[in-house]
Amino acid sequence: MRKILAFVGVLLAAHVAMQWIHPAGAAVAPTGNALDVGIVFDLGGRGDKSFNDGAYIGAMRAAKELGARVRFVEPGEGSDREAGLRLLAAEKMDLVIGVGFIFTDDLTELAKEYPNVAFAGVDYAVTIDKDGNPVAPPKNLAALKFREEQGSFLVGALAALVGKSKKVGFIGGMDSPLIHKFEAGYRAGVKQVCPDCEVIAQYAGVTPEAFRNPGRGKELALSQYQQGVNVIYHASGSTGLGVFEAARTLDKYGIGVDADQYKEAPGHVLSSMVKRVDNAVFDVIKRVAEKKFTGGIYSFGLAEDGVGYVYDEHNRALIPDSVRQRLEALKAEIVAGRIIVPSTK
């Protein structure tokens, strides 16, 4: 018994010691009263090739250009998310950022508890009151939202213009309002350039596991491709890796989401609808640095370069110039407000 207790004691001590080693963030030369920024990653942490990596890139840019000192915390499963935020807030950081909608409730709580610390939540889910109006977050909390429907609109137009089969596909992760937004924008984009095109939209499931089921993604995609679809846009996390696998197998195209997913299946990724989490994170850090920070809802759309589609040396060969011009024209119309993209089905 005593042996076990001693063993557990050693483990605990090691565990506690790790806490101090682990969140050591980017070491940046301290510059007087530098800006202290703390970032808590969503599950997955750095290396998720998506949100967390985007936030990391934005923060590192802020470190370089604004001299901000950035600390990162990668929580494990479950409840240490709140602890991570609290740790940073209690250390009197100038700005604490939570990456992912999962932080919504924790951020709201802590913003009230620490009114002198600025908070920001990437993909913060703004609550809607019973009259359908958004409830403003606490005034020291910035909700960083993305207008995914606008980026999805453009890749919808792209899919219809390149697909050539009057049928285009959409595969979502968990069947939920968040993903319906992607679908709605995509559908609108398809209809804009091809009114008689059919959109086959399917979801991988009804639980959060639907975002982590590449096997299911592949089967959904195979059945869509076999029905004559040539291009599938996915908004389904790593389930979408199965979509790309199917595109490889049948020599078709997929469109990625959140980050540039070209590398997942070179030659078969037509483009990706990117959410520029890096831009949003950099923007909010800059506001704090310039003492212009105010809480509220910040919306990043095409106009703010918060969403977009990938067009670079990798996929240039897949997208004809005429299509590219058409997309840029559509983008200009959305930015000018002449096209209003729906965000609900």
Partner 1 sequence: MSLLLFLAQTLRIAIPYLFAAAGGALAERAGVVSLTLEGFMLGGAFGAVLGSHYTGSAWIGLVTGVAWGLMLALIHAVCSIRYKADQIVVGVAINLFTVGITRFFLQLAFESSSNSPRVAGFGGDAGSSAAAFLTNPLVWMGIVVMPALWWVVQKTTFGLRVRAVGEHPQAAASVGVPVNRVRYVAVLGSGALAALGGVYLALDQHQFTDSMTAGRGFIALAAVIFGRWDPLRAGLACLLFAAAETLQIQLQAAQLIPSQFVAMIPYVLTIVAVAGVVGRSTPPAALGRTTD
**Contact (CB, 8 A) for 319 and 158:** yes
Helix (H) or strand (E) holding 112: helix 104-113
Nearer to partner 1, 77 or 313 (CB): 77
Closest distance of CB 71 from partner 1, Å: 19
Minimum distance between the CB of residue 63 and partner 1, rounded to whole angstroms? Answer: 21
Smallest separation (angstroms) from partner 1 to the CB of 224: 8
Tell the smallest beta-carbon distance from residue 103 to partner 1 (Å).
17
**Which lies closer to partner 1 via its Cβ, residue 52 or residue 104?**
52
CB of 307 to partner 1, least distance (A): 21
By beta-carbon proximity to partner 1, the closer residue of 118 and 199 is 199
Q: What is the 3-state secondary structure (H, E, C) of 215-284?
A: HHHHHHHHHHHHCCCCEEEEECCCHHHHHHHHHHHHCCEEEEEECCCHHHCCCCEEEEEEECHHHHHHHH
Residues paired with residue 168 on neighbouring β-strands, in sequence order? 199
Closest CA to 197 of 244, 171, 159: 159
Cβ-based nearer residue to partner 1, 79 or 133: 79
Name the residue among 73, 137, 146, 139 with its Cα closest to residue 105.
137
Which residue's CB is nearer to partner 1, number 120 or number 210? 210
Measured between alpha carbons, how far is residue 191 from residues 21, 38, 256, 301 in Å?
53, 43, 20, 20
Q: For residue 322, how many other CB atoms are within 10 A of its CB?
A: 9
Phi/psi at 121 (nearest 5 deg)?
A: -125, 120
Expressed in percent and rounded to 5, the helix, strand and coil fractions of the chain are 45, 20, 35
Shortest Å distance, C-beta 202 to partner 1:
5
Residue closer to partner 1, measured from CB, 182 or 203: 203
Beta-sheet strand order (sheet of 296-300)? 69-73, 36-40, 95-99, 118-122, 141-146, 296-300
Closest CB to partner 1 among residues 210, 289? 210
CB of 31 or CB of 207, closer to partner 1: 207
* Residue 165 C-beta: closest distance to partner 1, Å: 15
User: What does each C-alpha distance from 45 to 56, 97, 242, 296, 331 come to in angstroms?
Assistant: 10, 14, 22, 26, 32
Q: How far is the CB of 113 from partner 1 (least distance, A)?
A: 30
Which residues lie near partner 1 (CB under 8 A)?
44-50, 52, 77, 175, 200-203, 205-207, 209-210, 212-216, 218-220, 222-224, 226-227, 238, 241-242, 245-246, 248-250
